[in-house]
Amino acid sequence: MSDTEVDEAAVTTNVPEDVEADVDEPETNDSTVERDAKHVPNAIPLKVRGLRKEFGGIVAAADVNLSVEEGSLTGLIGPNGAGKSTTFNCITGVHEPTAGQIHFQGEDITGLSPNEVAERGLVRTFQIARELEEMSVLENMMLAPTGQRGESLWRSVLPVARESVKQQEAAVLERCWEMLEFFEIDHLAHEYAGNLSGGQRKLLELARALLTEPSVLLLDEPFAGVNPSLESRLLDHINELQESGYTFLIVEHDMDLIMENCEHVIVMHQGTVLTEGTPEEVRTNEAVIEAYLGGEVDG
Amino acid sequence: MGVSDRYDRGRRLFLEDPVRAVLVVIAVVLVLDLVRQLAVGQTQISEFGVMLKDGLMRGLFFGLAGIGLSMTYSILNFANFSHGDFITSGSFAGMVVTYVIAGGFGAEADIGSLALVGADGSVYGAQLGIGVATTPLAVVAGAVVAGVATVLLALFIDRLVYRPIRDRSGIALLITSIGVAFALRYLIQFVFGPSRRGVTDSGAVPSIGIPAVDGVVSVNLHEVSLLVVSVLLMLGLHLLLQRTRLGKAMRAMADNEDLARITGIPTERVVRFTWIIGASLAGVAGYMFVLWNGTLHWFQGWILLLPIFAAVILGGIGSVYGAIVGGLVIGLTMSVSIVWIPSGLARAAAFLLMIVVLLVRPEGIFAGRSTA
Amino acid sequence: MSDDEGGASEPAGLAAVWDNDATKLVALVGGILALYVGAGTLLDYGVRQQLNSIGLLVFYIAVFAMLALALNLHWGYTGLFNIGVIGFMAIGIYVTAVLSKSATVTEPAAGSIGGFGLPLWLGIIGGVVAAAVFGVLVALPALRLRADYFAIVTVGISEIVRFTLLESSFQQMQLFGYFVGLGGGSGLILDFDITDSLLDAVGVAEPYAGLTESLGATLGLGGNPKPVFDSLYYGVLLLVFLVLFYLLLRRVGNSPFGRVLKAIREDEEATKSLGKDTNRFKIKSFTIGCALMGLAGILFYAEQGAITPNAFRPRITFFVWIALIIGGAGSNTGSVMGGAVFAAFLFRGPLFLKNVIQESFDIGAVSTFGQAVSPLISGLNPVPMLAYAIDNLAQLQLVIMGLTLIYLMHNRPEGLLGHRQEPAACIPLTGLSRSDTATAPATETDGGVASKGGDGDE
């Protein structure tokens, strides 16, 4: 939460616009290479151990163990009622787990509030996009960056301090425009977020989440209710972001989508992790076939 | 089982929920202090008996009037701030009829003064000898009209005000209901004048004394009437909710917010019956309360609304039986609190209890228990 | 206020001046005053009457606009459904009264209650701080409640405050050797005077007295012109406070802080998911709003000579809500407009009309509704009913306000100015793309009356 986090100097480095400029060959890009160089193989930023969550007498998650590898695109799938959303909500602090631990970047974040989890760089999106309807797209975006000086009341009000807030605002605005352009929704900047289409909202939400400079993004069914053309656009964005160093954990109902795009897949069933591995391993796993064919038809 | 188990549970409560634990301690201390006061005679047992009786009367009223509030809150999904002024309207409508009949349709006083419930002190209830024993017909007619008039008013307002914005948020409806409340309240003041009037011949109400240890608790006929009417109406409502299909549908909707959400905006038929039941109970309850209390004024409904809210929240919104129990708790709190605090703050104590319930257990004390 | 233009950019000429919110507000208040002066002239008002009427009007415009602004911070920005406004006002003025009433160290006669005898400015600060502290006490436990429960808690708190003020046990007590108290049902006499204290403090009490005498003589005000000028001067003082409220709240609103508040109003969970500690923001917002309500309460009642608990019934809260909804929750400029429109047309207007009618026509008003309604029924004679209505306009006025609120909620829930939002940022956001962020034309984005598509959704 240092004040310098969003200073002008830092503004342009985070947005992967260079990736966008050169979509076909991202690995030749300098900044990407830099990021890849920093990437330590096998680092595990997110680790869930023995997670259990009961609501009243109902066990929604029994004993969940999973880990997300840095820089990976990890999919979390399972039939309805498998405990995906519960796990997700426990990780992000919406629910407090009944038992178990969640570690993020080596720190125990079990039971922290959602904002504390997000502050640490573990940022989520929602299954049904939670755009701030009566605020413009630009305002939605400008909300997100962390370390904004003007979020302190007195800095926003007192004359001299406000000048420095304004400087930072200009930098934040610039960065928001860049992000909007990256997601190709800059033409909607002044639209009320509530007037956006379902797909545009998903883009806005992802763009907004990125502005918090997360290290791991948790996407809750990012493709639900999104039309096929936007779906592929969204996938492209996610792939580009992954290549520039972001880590993703995606909860998804649509098994095929996960199988095609994730390198690591975790399958949940009846409140526990059934199996995990590469899509190929998962696809041929007897238990998975059993769970899906036995329980769900549409999986 | 046994002491250690209870001790364990107590310790867990303290660790997990210190606020609630402190409240439990406060409640225990108050009860013990009450026992002490009664034992050493600081508060007489007969005095305490009167408090209990008063609390029961108030509580019955809060519960009865709260049922409607609770039902609109859960089925129509908004806190109806005009509910208190429905009660005032019903009370006035009923008293108009009582005055007119008791006044011999103009024989004993100017018909205009009778129809305005003695605005500006032109006629007093005592003059007309109003009471259950002295003018039974006028009182029964008044109670019936109070119920009917409130129903008509509620349906009229629903049609005009609430129905066109049924699909809007509960907050929009709440704000609108504040508009309705003020319009009604000051319309009543405009028509009936600002004075607080005595509406019964309190000297002529027969009463009996029930001996308590150190004195007598007197119970009068109006108190018995309030009790009997409340219990009968509650029983009637119970049968309606349990035995009829409509009642079952309403109960399901009131009990289960999810069901209401899934089924979308409730059918107009259910809405209509919600208003009819809620408003008729509010009207009759208001009339019986005024009869018991002996005074009537335009501000009454507002004063009573917050304790009714307290009762409804305490009992769990949507729960008919919760509203009744909540009403009794609030009524008794208001009456018994004067053992410790000045009587002027009895209402403040009830509100405080409501706020504490909202903070500690916003789903109500009976939440999670089926109301069937 | 060069830095506060929020969404406004720089179109040329007159349009630019008009686009400025401040211009609109000055024009509105000026127009209202002109209307009243015009009506007064038509009615052959004397100068004294005109000045009195203006003084009163300015007073109410200023206080309701201030209150609407403070409530807008709670409801319009943060989504905190506070319907206990009057409680915070009461705390402000009562604390000021107790602190600044002249001290009594000997047992006073019945009915006269002393204070601590502190300087008035200290008393005012004390009142504002007390309202803020009380706000924190309410906020800490209550902020996690959903909006309708929060509303019930706040209205309950405001009634608890009123009952406490009414309570005879606190009527008088001895504290630190001073005989102080809340006065119970009969209230407190305010033996201080903001206008005079301010003049004394600046050291211009003498010249002011001389000025009122000579000006009063010039304008032909008759004997004792000072009260007339006092009311005008107080009105102007309140306008200054209003401008300060407005500037402060615009700064609060048009900033990253205000952005988080708006986000909380829209969706608290989503805001939390972006790492914002929403509780902290809510407590700050609620506290600032309560402090401002306390200050507005002090300014509202300090010059009234006395306060009684009955003045602090929930109806003032209701007035402030109507003002806010007229102006449109979420907009500071709208709040001021709503306050002005409410004060001029719903609050003062009917009473002005009543005075006019009662002075122009000698209508012997009947005393009850019955006497008014029977000629209407029997002889189709509406005069007694009209006379009764005019005589009892104070009640009818509230009926009209209730109906206005219902009408607004049905037809214009977004307020007078339409679906208006003041962009929550310190700098203009008007650019149409990244490149022209700084130099964009102001078309369609300046948040004016023409709304951007928001009207369709109701």
CA separation for the pair A102, A47 (Å, rounded)? 6
Q: What percent of chain A has pLDDT over 90?
A: 16
What one-character DSSP code corresponds to residue C457? G
For residue C269, the distance in angstroms to the closest alpha carbon of chain A comes to 8
Q: What pLDDT sits at residue B266?
A: 60
Joined together, the tokens standing for residue C370 give 């019955």
Residue B180 inside a domain? The answer is yes
- pLDDT tens-digit readout, A201-223: 888 998 999 999 898 999 988 88
Q: What percent of chain A has pLDDT over 70?
A: 84
Asked whether the predicted pLDDT for residue C446 surpasses 60, the reply is: no
- Which chain C residue shows the shortest CA-CA distance from A196? C453
- pLDDT tens-digit readout, C317-370: 999 999 999 998 888 999 999 999 999 999 988 888 887 777 777 766 677 777
Nearest one of B273, B291, B228 to B92, comparing CA atoms: B291
CA separation for the pair A12, A1 (Å, rounded)? 19
Inter-chain contacts counted by CB atoms under 8 A, chains A and C: 160
Least confident of A137-146, B81-90, B241-250, C418-427: C418-427
- pLDDT tens-digit readout, B87-127: 999 999 999 998 888 877 877 777 777 878 877 777 787 77
Nearest-CB residue to C159 (from B164, B170, B306) = B306
- Which chain C residue shows the shortest CA-CA distance from B115? C370
Average pLDDT over residues A16-44: 46
CA separation for the pair C144, C458 (Å, rounded)? 28
Average pLDDT over residues B183-207: 86
DSSP per-residue string spanning C235-299: HHHHHHHHHHHHHHHHHHHSSHHHHHHHHHHH-HHHHHHTT--HHHHHHHHHHHHHHHHHHHHHH
Q: Do B189 and C314 touch (CB under 8 A)?
A: no
Contact C185, C165 (CB under 8 A): no
- Taking contacts as CB-CB distances below 8 angstroms, the residues of chain C near A140 are 263
pLDDT winner (highest mean) among B130-134, B330-334, C16-20, C78-82: C78-82
- Taking contacts as CB-CB distances below 8 angstroms, the residues of chain B near C158 are none
For residue B55, the distance in angstroms to the closest alpha carbon of chain C comes to 19
Q: What pLDDT sits at residue C262?
A: 93
For residue C436, the distance in angstroms to the closest alpha carbon of chain A comes to 11
Joined together, the tokens standing for residue B243 give 């035995």
Block residue for tokens 């809500």: C321
Residue B310 inside a domain? The answer is no
A partners (3+ CB pairs within 8 A) are C
Q: What pLDDT sits at residue A245?
A: 87
Strand, helix or coil at B278? helix
- Taking contacts as CB-CB distances below 8 angstroms, the residues of chain A near C255 are 150, 156-157, 162, 165
- Give the pLDDT band (50/70/90) at residue C111: low
CA diameter of chain A = 67
Average pLDDT over residues C76-99: 94
pLDDT winner (highest mean) among A290-299, B236-245, C131-140: C131-140
Average pLDDT over residues A253-268: 85
Q: What pLDDT sits at residue C454?
A: 35
Residue B339 inside a domain? The answer is no
- pLDDT tens-digit readout, B270-303: 888 889 999 999 999 999 999 898 889 998 898 8
What is the second-level CATH architecture of the domain A3-295?
A: 3-Layer(aba) Sandwich (3.40)
CA separation for the pair C177, C174 (Å, rounded)? 6
What one-character DSSP code corresponds to residue C102? P
CA separation for the pair B83, B309 (Å, rounded)? 10
- Give the pLDDT band (50/70/90) at residue B254: low
Contact A43, A69 (CB under 8 A): yes
For residue B1, the distance in angstroms to the closest alpha carbon of chain C comes to 35
Nearest-CB residue to C163 (from B79, B179, B348) = B348
Q: What pLDDT sits at residue C96?
A: 94
- pLDDT tens-digit readout, B143-152: 999 999 999 9
Least confident of A92-106, A216-230, B22-36, B243-257: B243-257
- Give the pLDDT band (50/70/90) at residue B17: low
In chain C, positions 227-286, which contact chain A (CB-CB < 8 Å)?
248, 251-252, 255-260, 262-263, 265-267, 269-278, 281, 284
Nearest one of C67, C66, C33 to C348, comparing CA atoms: C33
Plot region of A234 (φ>0 → left; ψ -120 to 50 → alpha; else → beta): alpha
Residue B274 inside a domain? The answer is yes
Please give the distance of CA C378 from its chain centroid, rounded to a whole number: 45
Q: Where are the alpha helices (DSSP H) in A120-274?
A: 137-143, 153-157, 159-182, 198-211, 228-243, 255-261
CA separation for the pair C303, C192 (Å, rounded)? 8
Tell me if chain A has a CB within 8 Å of the CB of C288: yes
Pairwise pLDDT comparison (B180 vs B261), residue with the higher score? B180
- Give the pLDDT band (50/70/90) at residue B346: confident
CA separation for the pair B200, B214 (Å, rounded)? 30
CA separation for the pair A159, B338 (Å, rounded)? 53
- Taking contacts as CB-CB distances below 8 angstroms, the residues of chain B near C377 are none
Q: Do C429 and A192 touch (CB under 8 A)?
A: no
- Give the pLDDT band (50/70/90) at residue C248: very high
Nearest-CB residue to C163 (from B164, B180, B344) = B344
- pLDDT tens-digit readout, C206-240: 888 888 888 888 877 777 788 888 888 899 999 99
Q: What pLDDT sits at residue C346?
A: 92
* Strand A46-55 with A58-68, pairing: antiparallel
- Which chain C residue shows the shortest CA-CA distance from B112? C370
Asked whether the predicted pLDDT for residue A295 surpasses 90, the reply is: no
Count of Cβ atoms closer than 10 Å to residue C201 Cβ: 12
Mean pLDDT of chain C, nearest integer: 83
Q: Where are the alpha helices (DSSP H) in C346-434?
A: 349-360, 369-379, 383-391, 393-411
Contact B118, B124 (CB under 8 A): yes
- pLDDT tens-digit readout, B69-94: 998 888 888 899 999 999 999 999 99
Q: What pLDDT sits at residue C10?
A: 44
Containing structural domain, residue B142:
71-302
Contact A184, A24 (CB under 8 A): no
Residue B83 inside a domain? The answer is yes
Asked whether the predicted pLDDT for residue C421 surpasses 70, the reply is: no
Nearest-CB residue to B355 (from C147, C153, C167) = C153
How many distinct structural domains can be found in chain B?
Answer: 1
Which secondary structure element, helix H or strand E, spans residue B71, and what is its range?
helix B45-71
* Strand C188-189 with C306-307, pairing: antiparallel
Residues 6+ apart with CB under 8 A from B208: B218, B219, B220
Average pLDDT over residues B6-24: 69
- pLDDT tens-digit readout, A98-118: 889 999 988 899 889 999 999
Burial of C401: CB neighbours in 10 Å, binned 0-12, 13-18, 19+: buried
Asked whether the predicted pLDDT for residue A11 surpasses 80, the reply is: no
List % helix, strand, coil for chain B (3-state, nearest 5): 75, 5, 20
For residue C246, the distance in angstroms to the closest alpha carbon of chain A comes to 12
Paired residues of A219 in beta bridges: A250
- Taking contacts as CB-CB distances below 8 angstroms, the residues of chain C near B193 are 368-369
Q: The whole model's pTM is what?
A: 0.87
**How many secondary structure helices (H) and strands (E) does chain C include?**
18, 4
Nearest-CB residue to C148 (from B171, B179, B187) = B171
Nearest one of A178, A196, A94 to A141, comparing CA atoms: A178
- Give the pLDDT band (50/70/90) at residue B370: very low
- pLDDT tens-digit readout, C36-77: 888 888 887 888 888 888 999 999 999 999 999 999 999 999
Nearest one of C141, C127, C140 to C88, comparing CA atoms: C127
Q: What pLDDT sits at residue C70?
A: 97
Nearest one of C281, C285, C304 to C293, comparing CA atoms: C285
CA separation for the pair A127, A218 (Å, rounded)? 11
Q: Which stretches does DSSP call E strand in chain A? A: 46-55, 58-68, 73-77, 99-104, 107-108, 122-124, 216-220, 247-251, 264-269, 272-277
- Taking contacts as CB-CB distances below 8 angstroms, the residues of chain C near B183 are 398-399, 401-403, 406
What CA dihedral angle connects C424, C426, C427 and C432, to 10 degrees?
A: -20
Domain map of chain A by residue range?
3-295
- Give the pLDDT band (50/70/90) at residue B15: low
Q: What is the ipTM of this complex?
A: 0.86
